[in-house]
Amino acid sequence: MATTRTRSAGSGTITVLNPQGYPPRITAAPMAPRLDGLDGKTVYLVDPRFDDSGIFLKQLQACFEEHLPRVTTRYVQMRSVYTRDDPETWEEIKANGDAAIIGVGH
Amino acid sequence: MPQARYVFVPQPVMGKSPRELRGYVDGKDPVTGRPVMQEIIEGLTVPVETDLRGITFERLTPRLVEPGTEENLHRLFRENNWTDQLPIILPTEERVAAMLACTSRKPGEVVGHMRPTAFREVWEYTVEKVAVNAVMSGARPEYFPVILALAASEASARGSTTSSAAAMAVVNGPVRHEIGMNSGIGALGPYNHANATIGRAYGLLSQNLQGGSEPGLTYMGSSGNNYSYNSVTFAENEERSPWEALHVQHGFRPSDSAVSVFGGCRSTAFTLGLPEKHWREHVRNMLRGMDAHSAPTLLLDPITARQFIDRGGFDTKEKLIRWVYENALMPADEYWDYQLIQNYIYPRATFGEEPYASRLKAAPDELIHMFTPEEVQVVVVGGETNGYWRIMGAPYRTTVSVDQWR
């Protein structure tokens, strides 16, 4: 087996197979429209519960309260580990929120 | 996701005080150099410029690489991160055909789907694609059904966790002898062609069939893991084991050939034998020293397997597994303080998932179980030169039939 070759067009060249798999077809999902402004809006702060992300988001929440007091922030935790989808939380945000920040990722 | 709005803060977030993290919020994005809060507000309010609605992206993988000299093709494979940086065998059509001749499956049959992490896109691969990677590893065609079974597990040996996890693979049944695998002296070392190349093929096929394993892009293991070179691949020493074989424990017949896949392989503990006076304490110390999130798989030399029977009366693997479960204990306060437990177990516990929810009710100094009995595994391997044994922090994932891929 070690000496087998597929000769190709040029002398001394060989042809080999591509080792990569097949990527999926991607259909773009549009981003949600951005807000005109944040005054009077409700922004969810979604905690994936990874590497102390909750402590970080509460500091972000404090910053909103100090500098953007007309924005309502709601801190929520994902209902399990970040590797699992959480449709209940997404539905809650759609029903009661205007925007969401998810963090911290890695 | 070219339009997604990201804002970066310094790493790590883990272990920082609230004051330090407030500094992150008030500070600058280390990637762009712009204020974090300004970027957050802009991310929520600056209009999305391009509407990608309805647009699809079709990406093709050509069957062949452009012809080239051997030297140039070796360079191309290295530069494309299609290798493990060691020399490979170039996958010519003849070599791939020889590999394909050792399975009854059609070259175009889909074997499975794989991705480096739970959030990445899933790539698809066929029998021929697995054969290409098997050739690259230096595997002989007669190993191909084992390699196909590993591919069919759909468990990547090149996961992109920042924890630098490797895989582990244990082969059972008649195929071990048919292809000359080693389960005796040096079974986990670089001394057997089948062990070495099957494990290497598992790594290569994972990185190439899942869409890559490139540091900083599709591989984020902070320190990396030498176990990844051949995914700790070996055969169980069934002939010298006093117990049921691993694949039989997982529903196969002794006459079946199968391969079992483990993930999260990082932590290792080892010792020599089971001294009569304090063997229980020694094993407990080893278990306590393991990563509390990665369930233990005991790799026992046959000498140690028999000693476990002599010392503890464990005449079945199940009895030993039960003892390990009952003795892998830790004060609740210490257990819940582990960062990995906080990341992956605590969220499940707080939403009522058992047995974690019950563990969460324990008093801080109460001893709680680190693992469940189902998570603990035992494999017999080694050549009886001595009674050394080890525990791998390597959670069991699945067992796949090799016979189905012949």
> Which uninterrupted H or E stretch holds B137?
helix B127-137
In a domain, A92, yes or no: yes
Count of C-beta atoms within a 10 Å radius of residue B97: 16
Q: What are phi and psi of A3, to 5 degrees?
A: -100, -5
Interface contact flag, B57 A28, Cβ < 8 Å? yes
Interface contact flag, A19 B122, Cβ < 8 Å? no
Torsion of Cα atoms, B205 then B207 then B212 then B218, to 10°:
160
DSSP character string of B176-221:
HHHTT---STTTTSS--HHHHHHHHHHHHHHHHHTT---BTTTB--
Q: What is the value of pTM for the model shown?
A: 0.93
Q: What is the pLDDT of residues B74-127, one digit of tens each?
A: 999 999 999 999 999 999 999 999 999 999 999 999 999 999 998 889 999 999
Q: Where are the domains of chain B?
A: 7-48, 70-266+397-405, 332-369
In a domain, A37, yes or no: no
Instruction: Check CB contact of A40 with chain B, cutoff 8 Å.
Output: no
Residue B273 and residue B391 in contact, taking contact as beta carbons nearer than 8 Å: no
In a domain, A98, yes or no: yes
pLDDT, block means (10 residues), chain B with 406 residues: 86 94 97 97 91 85 97 98 98 98 98 93 97 98 98 97 95 98 98 98 98 94 96 98 98 98 96 97 95 95 98 98 97 95 92 93 97 97 97 97 98
- How many angstroms away from the CA of B79 is the closest CA of chain A? 13
Q: Which of A92, A65, A61, A62 is nearest to A75 (CA)?
A: A61
Per-residue confidence (pLDDT) for residue A2, from 0 to 100: 34
- How many angstroms away from the CA of A11 is the closest CA of chain B? 9
**Which amino acid does the sequence have at B115?**
R
Largest CA distance in chain B: 73
Q: What is the mean pLDDT of chain B?
A: 96
Q: What is the pLDDT of residues B187-233, one digit of tens each?
A: 999 999 999 999 999 999 999 999 999 999 999 999 999 999 999 99
**Which amino acid does the sequence have at A68?**
L
Per-residue confidence (pLDDT) for residue B2, from 0 to 100: 67
Per-residue confidence (pLDDT) for residue A5, from 0 to 100: 43
Rounded Cα distance between A98 and B40, Å, is 14
How many domains does the structure of chain A reveal?
1
Residue B120: helix, strand or coil by DSSP?
coil
**ipTM, 2 dp:** 0.92
User: ∠ at Cα B42 (B41, B45), nearest 5°?
Assistant: 90
In which domain, by residue range, is A50 found? 42-102
* The residue to which tokens 């507000």 are assigned: B41
In a domain, A5, yes or no: no
- How many angstroms away from the CA of A10 is the closest CA of chain B? 8
